Amino acid sequence: MGSFYRLGAGLWVLLGALLLLSAALYNGYPLVTSDTGAYIDSGMRLVVPIDRPISYGLFLRLVSFKHSLWFVVVAQSLLLAALLFRYISVFAPRVTAYPLRLALVGGVTWATGLAWFSGQLMPDIFTSIGVLALALICLAPLQLAEKLAWSVVVMLSALMHSSNLLTFTLLVLLTGAVAWFTGALKTWLKPAGIGVALAAVLLSWVILPGLHAACGGDFAINRGAPVFLMGKLVETGLLDRYLDEHCGEENLALCQYRGKLPDNAVSFVWGEPNIPNQMGGWETSREEYKRIINGVLTTPRYYPLLLEEGVLGTVRQLTHVGHGDGLTPFLDGSNPFWKVQAFFGYELKEYTSSLQNRGALNFKELTERSYNTLALTLLAALLLLLAPLRQAVPPVLWMTVVLVALAVVLNAAVTANLANVLDRLQTRMAWLLPWTVLLVWLQAWPQLRPQLQAWLTARFAS
């Protein structure tokens, strides 16, 4: 029995990765969304897409060895498992037994549906991976060499999705501000960690356009950004207002669509047919969209509505944490099918016979469980704010909660206001809250228990 508990850490990480692969294994093939085909195509043909970074496509190309897409989700799960185990050892060292650490990974995976993201052929899981790595760099007392190693993971994660660049940058800056305001930087927290993290995310802003230029594209982060921003102006009603006020003064091609604009950003950007394509394509409409966006952002009378819609969009995104968004069948006639057929053709039978592509996946129970888990998490976090308990939690654990909470809110704000309000974009991050709050309770339990007992006794004593 003793040898079982002393199994090498690497083997436990492998077992953790297996748990994180459980959704893909259950499905019978890595999960895909409508965007998966674009990522496969960009990586295998080395073409920079107009609407997304090439980074995840390159990751697919390299990690798949151009042989199997299973290797991609295995790599994602291994990296995440290694991070989770390291997170436990740093922030909850009281949990020493590896079987218990594995149980924690399995429990959170079951309660939050984490495996449905680590098993996807999508860059979404790298948002959470980047946040975990940033927490280790900023808050953990690690050697410089290890901080630099996790910085590579941060940069890799930042490059995977253009929204990650802004989210990670704001997260490091706000974490530093909280640490300064609370006095942590003058007591227990070394500024070097914040500095290393900030250097990593700022360097990513240069690496991504450089990577695009090296692959034959422009030195730009995302050439399709004006189209996404126009989608948000459509959804908020600001574009209607702008066109009403300027169509008589400016020669705008969009004026012909006054009164015909769709109701939401998704329909504007991806609908069939959609207005950008009707105007000649994303490149053709790009300059006019940039001119309108600049006009809105430099007109103060639009600011109250921008602020109102920004806050509303963020709150809406925070509550959109349902599972299964985009995980519908993608058979012949869909981009994911064509790209798997073109580049991984011998896996096509596996792909078409997966539960996803047979329409056999049901996420109702998982979504209910996830919402219940988040509700319990909020209750557990609120209990920690009670005066008797608050003092029992070490400052570093409080900062992990603050960092993760900031990350969840920033992800909602960035994706809701620069992209779309979608369950997929928030659910990919929501699991970090239960994970972090659980570790805080486990690590601080010896100090919390007597305080909690005393509070309950005083509260409910007859």
pLDDT 10s digits, 14-41:
999 999 999 999 999 999 999 999 999 9
174 and 232 together in one domain: no
Q: What is the pLDDT of residue 1?
A: 45
Q: What is the pLDDT of residue 462?
A: 52
189 and 234 together in one domain: no
Domain that holds residue 202: 138-214
Give domain status of residue 261, yes or no: yes
Q: What is the pLDDT of residue 271?
A: 85
- Count up the domains in the chain and report the number: 2
Give domain status of residue 257, yes or no: yes
With a cut of 50, say whether residue 424 has pLDDT above it: yes
147 and 182 together in one domain: yes
Give domain status of residue 269, yes or no: yes
229 and 283 together in one domain: yes
192 and 259 together in one domain: no
With a cut of 90, say whether residue 403 has pLDDT above it: yes
Looking at 1-10, 64-73, 273-282, 307-316, which range is the least confident one? Answer: 1-10
Q: What is the pLDDT of residue 3?
A: 52
Give domain status of residue 142, yes or no: yes
193 and 165 together in one domain: yes
142 and 210 together in one domain: yes
Q: Which of 298, 314, 338 lies at the terminal end of a domain, its last residue?
A: 298
Give domain status of residue 65, yes or no: no
Q: What is the pLDDT of residue 9?
A: 83
pLDDT 10s digits, 212-262:
999 999 999 999 999 999 999 998 899 999 999 999 888 899 999 988 899
Give domain status of residue 454, yes or no: no
Q: Which of 298, 323, 346 lies at the terminal end of a domain, its last residue?
A: 298
Arithmetic mean of pLDDT, 120-127 = 98
φ/ψ region of 264 (left if φ > 0, alpha if ψ in -120 to 50, else beta) reads beta
DSSP output for 156-207: HHHHH-HHHHHHHHHHHHHHHHHHHHTTGGGTT--HHHHHHHHHHHHHHHHH
Q: Which of 251, 272, 298 lies at the terminal end of a domain, its last residue?
A: 298
Q: How far apart are CA 352 and CA 77, in angstroms?
A: 23
Give domain status of residue 185, yes or no: yes
pLDDT 10s digits, 356-393:
999 999 999 999 999 999 999 999 999 999 878 888 99
Cα dihedral 165, 427, 56, 137 sign: positive
